[in-house]
Amino acid sequence: MITTKVETFNNYIDGIWQESVSKKTFNSLNPANKEEVVGVFQASNEDDVNLAIEAAQKAFPGWAKTAPSKREAILNQAANILEQKADQLAEELTREEGKHVNDAKNEVLRSAQTLRYYAVEGQSFTGETFPNDDPNMKVSTEREPLGVVSVITPWNFPLSIPARKIAPALITGNTVVFKPSSDTPLIAVRLVEALYEAGIPNGVINFVTGKASDIGDRLVTHPSVRAVTFTGSTAAGEDIHRKASMTTRTQMELGGKNPLIVMDDADLDLAATLTVNGGFSLTGQACTGTSRVIVLKEVKEAFIQKLVDKTSVLKIGNGFEAGVKIGPLANEKQMKNVLNYIEFGKEDGAELVYGGEPLTTGEFEKGYFVRPAIFTNVKPNHRIAKEEIFGPVVAVIEVDTYEEAIAVANDVEYGLSASIVTNNLKIANQFTKDIQAGTVKVNRTTTGNLMNAPFGGLKKSSTSTFRESGRVGLEFFSQLKTVYIGY
Where on the chain is the footprint of ligand NAD (CB under 6 A)?
152-156, 179-181, 212, 216, 220, 231-233, 236, 239-240, 253-256, 287, 388, 390, 416, 457, 461
Using DSSP's 3-state secondary structure scheme, residue 135 falls into coil
From the list 253, 388, 468, 475, the catalytic residue is 253
**Cβ(67)–Cβ(73) below 8 Å:** no
Question: What is the C-alpha separation between 9 and 43, in angstroms, rounded?
Answer: 11
**Cβ(295)–Cβ(262) below 8 Å:** yes
Question: What is the C-alpha separation between 88 and 96, in angstroms, rounded?
Answer: 12
- What is the maximum span of the chain, computed from C-alpha positions, in angstroms? 81
Question: What is the C-alpha separation between 110 and 89, in angstroms, rounded?
Answer: 13
83 is catalytic: no
Nearest distance in Å: CB 210, ligand NAD: 8
Cβ proximity to ligand NAD: between 175 and 231 the closer is 231
Helix axis angle for 101-121 and 160-171, nearest 10°, is 10
Using DSSP's 3-state secondary structure scheme, residue 181 falls into coil
Cβ proximity to ligand NAD: between 234 and 422 the closer is 234
**Cβ(240)–Cβ(252) below 8 Å:** yes
Nearest distance in Å: CB 304, ligand NAD: 26
**Cβ(208)–Cβ(222) below 8 Å:** no
Cβ proximity to ligand NAD: between 151 and 304 the closer is 151
| Spatial CB neighbours of 98, under 8 Å, sequence gap ≥ 6 | 30, 31, 32, 283, 319, 327, 328, 329, 330, 367, 368
Cβ proximity to ligand NAD: between 388 and 434 the closer is 388
DSSP state of 124: G
Nearest distance in Å: CB 216, ligand NAD: 3
**Cβ(291)–Cβ(279) below 8 Å:** yes
Nearest distance in Å: CB 462, ligand NAD: 7
Question: What is the C-alpha separation between 281 and 157, in angstroms, rounded?
Answer: 13
Cβ proximity to ligand NAD: between 19 and 217 the closer is 217
Question: What is the C-alpha separation between 17 and 11, in angstroms, rounded?
Answer: 6
Nearest distance in Å: CB 468, ligand NAD: 7
Nearest distance in Å: CB 56, ligand NAD: 17
Residues annotated as catalytic are 253
